[in-house]
């Protein structure tokens, strides 16, 4: 982390999956660990994890993951209003025109996958499919 900050860069840590009923505490620990490491931003998809991070670590920026599939003004404003998110990563299903329209009417920065996205399906990342049962879960 010090290397990143010495070079005046920011580290965004993605914990961008959904907590399963038997794994919620593990995801909380993942957020805690990212905060302890000094993350500048957390990229989260799960509503409960966004709430946990907002309440426990309000000083760390929160970004909405592409996995959350925020595709409209109302959804983006919901995340901003309830969790004070600074950025939303938009899903690839939106046209350039739709992205421009959202940029005009929402109070947060927007990020898009323009080329070479690692996602091979809308709800799962490539690494999750390769190294697990297809569901992103932290190890115990």
| Per-position b or e across 4-37, b if 16+ CB within 10 A of its CB | eeeeeeeeebbbbbbbeeebeeebbebbeebbee
- Give the whole-number percent of the chain exceeding pLDDT 70: 81
Residue 23 banded pLDDT, cuts 50, 70, 90? confident
Query: Residue 116's pLDDT is what?
Result: 54
> Residue holding tokens 């010495």?
6
Query: Residue 123's pLDDT is what?
Result: 44
**37 HSE (CA, 13 A, CB side):** 17
Across the range 46-73, mean pLDDT stands at 96
Res. 66: pLDDT tops 70: yes
- pTM of the entire structure? 0.80
Pairwise pLDDT comparison (41 vs 121), residue with the higher score: 41
Q: What is the DSSP string of 34-71?
A: HHHHT-SEEEE--HHHHHHHHHH-TTSEEEE-GGG---
CA separation for the pair 122, 85 (Å, rounded): 22
Query: Residue 118's pLDDT is what?
Result: 54
Res. 22: pLDDT tops 70: yes
| Count of residues making up the chain | 140
Res. 14: pLDDT tops 90: yes
In 3-state terms, what secondary structure has residue 14?
strand
The per-residue pLDDT for range 84-115, each reduced to its tens digit, is 999 999 988 899 999 999 999 999 999 997 76
Residue-range domains of the chain with CATH: 2-131 (3.20.20.70)
């Amino acid at each position: 982390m010090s290397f990143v900050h010495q070079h005046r860069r920011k580290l965004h840590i993605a914990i961008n999956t959904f907590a399963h009923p038997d794994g919620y505490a593990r995801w909380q620990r993942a957020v805690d660990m990212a905060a302890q490491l000094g993350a500048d931003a957390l990229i989260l998809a799960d509503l409960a994890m966004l709430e946990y991070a907002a309440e426990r670590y309000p000083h760390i920026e929160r970004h909405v993951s592409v996995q959350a599939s925020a595709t409209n003004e109302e959804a983006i404003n919901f995340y901003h209003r309830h969790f004070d998110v600074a950025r939303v990563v938009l899903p690839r299903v939106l046209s350039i025109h739709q992205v421009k329209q959202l940029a005009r009417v929402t109070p947060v920065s927007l990020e898009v996958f323009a080329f070479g996205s690692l996602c091979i399906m809308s709800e799962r990342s490539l690494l999750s499919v390769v190294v697990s049962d297809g569901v992103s879960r932290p190890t115990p």
